[in-house]
Amino acid sequence: MNTVVATPSQKRHIPWILATAVFMQMLDATILNTALPSIATDLGVSPLNMQMAVISYALTLALVMPLSGALADRFGTQKVFLCAVSLFGIGSFLCATADSLSALVLFRVIQGVGGAMMTPVARLTLMRAFDKEQWLNIITTSMMPALLGPVLGPLLGGYLTVLASWHWIFLINLPIVVLGLWFGVRNFPNFTGNQEKIDISGYFLFAFAAFALTLGLDLVGQGGGWRLFVLLSCLGILSLYAYVKHAQKQKNALFSLELLRVRTFRVGLFGNLFSRIGISSIPLLLPLLFQVAFLYSPEVSGWMLAPMAITSMFAKSVITTVIRRFGYRKVLLTNTVLIGLVMMSFALPLQEIHPVLFIPILLLLGVLNSIQFSAMNTIALADLQETQNSSGNSLISVNQQLSISFGLAAGASLLRWISQQDWLIHGNIHNAFRLTFIILGTVTILSSQVFRLLHQKDGDNLVKR
């Protein structure tokens, strides 16, 4: 049993450490996108083949997150947190030294292993340091500075690439890592927990399924890619089936199948997965559209993405009011369709217009994304029992990262394949982007049908109507 008690000094610093960890993770998930064309030029590859540098990080987050709690219980929250921050720093430094795409992808995986453990372990430490009635207020306050990550990421990525070099988008992490280690050593308690046996077999089955499906999607459009896509997809589905059979017999399964018996959780989970396929590709495709098709500079591209992140942050203040007024079912059905239509609007002949005219579209997309993510995540947890909250929240977090990986792979592969079909694009790369946005927007609109499975009163226990 854990006997460690957080000191008053530690309690003052833990929320700030959590905020810093989330900020670093969110900054690093977005800072690379605007720099991809410049990195591609330096590494001698096509910008349309750079997606694995982004996918590898998101996929690593998804695959390592489930282990973070068990590792913290076994070795202590402070030890695991310091190890995570160190790995993140080492990975960041190595990324700055990469001289090939393969090396960059490998180093992004190292960075992702650290990033995957920082936030969950910091959040777990906070939950053990404070009384339960204090959690909501402290965690919400801790998250506010972290929301600046998606705003600053594209801007820093653009300006650092132009004013210095792309290497600095990784080196900028190092001073923050040093501060994190210093505060972690001085102010982070080493809580331990019940050291239950980790479901290693289930973990590897689940991880292989996610890896195979993502890699299969990424190979579409490459030489022999369709055959490998079919092979890896079949292997991934078989591995997922094997995990289901395994989880039915395993008491301490990585993710309990009992969660899927809860209808609202099931809708939230699959709604997240399918609707994010299109949504998650946008942060990758828009910088490429602006720089490859429209020939905007990296810093202009960064400014173009900032409005979307800003309105996404401020829209959170009105989400509860919107859901209280219309209900989860109507909001999710309508909002998903609107997101799809906004995505399709990028297929309009916008190449010659002034960049400022994009801003209203991006402002709207930020608001819609914020509503979508908050509504999907909360409805998934609406009807879970108290004993299911921890496992359900963990599965939702992993599902989000997996859907980001699938979306990035699907969007990039679709764009790459269309760009190779001259009979479709007639030698104009802008046409490849336009067709990609039309298809992804259509997929997003179709995904809204998942939310028809909700009942009108679902989620009423979360908001007073």
Q: What is the rounded CA–CA span in Å between residue 107 and residue 114?
A: 11
Q: Kindly list the distances between the CA atom of residue 1 and the CA atoms of 67, 190, 193, 194, in Å, as whole numbers in the listed order.
A: 20, 13, 6, 7
> Three-state secondary structure along 265-304?
HHHHHHHHHHHHHHHCCHHHHHHHHHHHHCCCCHHHHHHH
The two structure tokens encoding residue 160: 């650092």
HSE toward the beta carbon, residue 269, CA cutoff 13 A: 20
Fold for the domain defined by 1-196: Growth Hormone; Chain: A; (1.20.1250)
DSSP, res 188: -
* Domain spans, the chain: 1-196, 200-253, 260-465
Closest CA to 406 of 365, 447, 346, 448: 447
HSE toward the beta carbon, residue 27, CA cutoff 13 A: 23
In this prediction, residue 145 carries a pLDDT of 65
Q: Kindly give, in sequence order, each residue whose CB lies less than 8 Å from that of residue 388, ignoring residues fewer than 6 positions away.
A: 256, 258, 259, 262
In this prediction, residue 132 carries a pLDDT of 67
Helix (H, G, I), strand (E, B) or coil at 58: helix
Here the contacts of 172-179 (C-beta below 8 Å, separation 24 or greater) are 173/24, 173/28, 173/88, 173/89, 173/92, 174/89, 174/92, 174/93, 176/20, 176/24, 177/24, 177/85, 177/86, 177/88, 177/89, 177/92, 178/89, 179/20
In this prediction, residue 195 carries a pLDDT of 65
Question: 444-463: string of b/e by CB count within 10 Å (b at 16+)?
Answer: bbebbebbeebeeebbeebb
Backbone angles phi, psi at 332, to 5 degrees: -70, -40
The two structure tokens encoding residue 96: 């700055």
Among positive and negative, which fits the CA dihedral 12, 14, 18, 20? positive
Q: What pTM does this model have?
A: 0.87
In this prediction, residue 221 carries a pLDDT of 63
Q: What is the rounded CA–CA span in Å between residue 403 and residue 55?
A: 11
In this prediction, residue 223 carries a pLDDT of 59
Evaluate whether 1-196 and 260-465 have a shared fold. Answer: yes
Alpha helices in 173-295, H assignment, sequence order: 173-187, 200-219, 225-249, 263-279, 282-288
Here the contacts of 387-390 (C-beta below 8 Å, separation 24 or greater) are 388/256, 388/258, 388/259, 388/262
DSSP notation for 66-130: HHHHHHHHHH-HHHHHHHHHHHHHHHHHHHHH--SHHHHHHHHHHHHHHHHHHHHHHHHHHHHHS
**Residue type at 453?**
L
CB 416 within 8 A of CB 433: no
Q: What is the rounded CA–CA span in Å between residue 233 and residue 240?
A: 10
In this prediction, residue 339 carries a pLDDT of 97
Q: What is the CATH number of domain 260-465?
A: 1.20.1250.20
In this prediction, residue 42 carries a pLDDT of 93
Q: Kindly give, in sequence order, each residue whose CB lies less than 8 Å from that of residue 238, ignoring residues fewer than 6 positions away.
A: none
In this prediction, residue 224 carries a pLDDT of 59
One digit per residue, pLDDT tens: the chain, 465 residues? 556 677 888 888 888 888 888 888 788 878 888 899 999 999 999 888 888 898 999 899 889 988 887 888 888 889 999 999 999 999 999 999 999 999 999 999 999 999 888 888 888 888 788 776 676 567 666 766 666 777 788 888 889 998 989 999 999 999 989 998 998 898 888 888 776 677 889 999 999 999 999 988 888 766 556 788 899 999 999 999 999 999 998 888 888 888 899 999 999 999 999 999 899 999 899 999 999 988 888 988 888 888 888 888 788 778 888 888 999 999 999 999 999 999 999 988 766 677 777 889 999 999 999 899 888 988 988 888 867 776 777 788 888 889 989 999 999 999 999 998 898 898 899 999 999 999 999 999 999 999 999 999 888 877 765
In this prediction, residue 435 carries a pLDDT of 96
Q: What is the rounded CA–CA span in Å between residue 378 and residue 291?
A: 36
